Amino acid sequence: MSDVKKVVLAYSGGLDTSVILKWLQDVYQCEVVTFTADIGQGEELEPAREKAKKFGVKEIYIDDLREEFVRDFVFPMFRANTVYEGEYLLGTSIARPLIAKRLIEIASETNADAISHGATGKGNDQVRFELGAYALNPNIQIIAPWREWDLLSREKLLGYAEKNGIPVEMKHKQGGSPYSMDANLLHISYEGRHLENPAAEAEEDMWRWTVSPEKAPDAAEYLDIEYEHGDPVALNGKRLPPHALLAELNRLGGKHGIGRLDLVENRYVGMKSRGCYETPGGTILLRAHRAIESITLDREVAHLKDDLMPRYASMIYNGYWWSPERLTLQTLIDQTQHTVNGWVRLKLYKGNVIVTGRDSKTDSLFDPTIATFEDDKGAYDQKDAGGFIKLNALRMRIAANLRNKNK
């Protein structure tokens, strides 16, 4: 272990990474550089700096990555209407490639020998961090403490923290371990404690961003989202930078009880895992983006995107953001978005996001003169449909004739 003189640690200041910081110093006898990413988790980050200083860290990075996160990671993902296993909007997954990228950059800037993270040996994040790191620096050394130490429960971590004077916040009111939580501008997730029983309903006081639909306002709220080339650029007529727009949608969605999810998902390492998620702004954006695409995308292009989306979602979930296949697929997705321009009107009401209107002045493929149920003045000849149907039925008619012949 003596070959590691300096390591860059992805450091949140929470229980796991605070223990890891001290553990790296004790076990590897190395200098630790801490990197804390502000990706909109909504928490004060200066305590992380103070904790790092307390344990003698000299190089402390606290980077505001909110705009880059939403602009270069969240929005490209939403251009594909990405959903994993039909429900999960990939809030944790999409943050990992950005953190991996910055870890590698800081390792280069500080001449560090290795990077380290707090992902467990049972989870997906170890794969996401490390695949990203190796894609960006194939020779980087990675230290994954959860795969090396014997602190294999949250109770043992709490004991180690207490023994070494590491302050820990958010202990559960009954005295048990806190939830394993991850937050950023796209979502907040909860795992552990009684959520490990998939039959148990989540406690109402667990949720942080959203009110329950039962307690949401009795009056619906309307909002307009404007799109340019597949990305939202304005909310209710006001242009906003990406991170500010998503933050405001989180506020509005949370107010109306939108975006809660209780999911048992299939982890890449093979096990099933139960997690709860709050993704209010992302839930709104998914509905809005599909609505604007419904009038601006060609049918076959839209269906091709839907065919490819589950594969794209798995790439992100499994940690292949920096892979050549994801980059290639992103080029195709982005090509489809050149005509995705216009606005969408939505109604928020007690946990629901309801599309009430959409239009595009420049790229709408909706032709009212053809779609009308009134007199179309010859724009569409209904007699043509007969031949269309017969040609499409030809193979089935041939097969039916054969069956009848062989009876």
- Candidate list 180, 231, 260, 358, residue with the active-site label: 180
pLDDT of the residue at 1: 47
Known active-site residue 375: no
Known active-site residue 16: yes
CA distance 391 to 395: 8
Q: Say if residues 89 and 80 touch (Cβ distance below 8 Å).
A: no
Which candidate, 260, 265, 264, 257, places its Cα nearest to that of 277? 260
Amino acid at 163: K
Where are the domain boundaries for CATH 3.90.1260.10 in the chain?
183-359
Q: Say if residues 268 and 318 touch (Cβ distance below 8 Å).
A: yes
Q: Which residues pair with 272 in a beta bridge?
A: 266
CA distance 380 to 109: 65
Known active-site residue 125: yes
Write the CA distances from 233 to 260, 275, 341, integer angstroms: 25, 31, 10
- Architecture per CATH, domain 6-178, reads as 3-Layer(aba) Sandwich (3.40)
Alpha helices in 337-381 (DSSP H): 368-371
188, two tokens? 């907040």
pLDDT of the residue at 176: 46
Where are the domain boundaries for CATH 3.40.50.620 in the chain?
6-178
- Candidate list 12, 79, 125, 260, residue with the active-site label: 125
CA distance 65 to 217: 33
pLDDT of the residue at 178: 59
Starting from the edge strand earliest in sequence, which strands make up the sheet with 188-191, in order?
180-183, 188-191, 272-278, 260-266
pLDDT of the residue at 174: 46
pLDDT digits (tens, 9 = 90+) for 272-327: 999 999 999 999 999 999 999 999 999 999 999 999 999 999 999 999 999 999 99
CA distance 106 to 199: 43
CA distance 128 to 317: 8
pTM: 0.94
- Candidate list 12, 16, 79, 287, residue with the active-site label: 16
Q: Does domain 183-359 bear CATH number 3.90.1260.10?
A: yes
Q: Say if residues 253 and 348 touch (Cβ distance below 8 Å).
A: yes
- Intervals of the chain under pLDDT 50: 1, 171-177
Q: How many CA atoms lie within 13 A of 226 on its CB side?
A: 12
End-to-end CA distance of the chain, in Å?
78
- Candidate list 66, 79, 96, 128, residue with the active-site label: 96
Known active-site residue 180: yes
pLDDT digits (tens, 9 = 90+) for 135-174: 999 999 999 999 999 988 878 888 999 899 888 765 444 4
Amino acid at 351: G
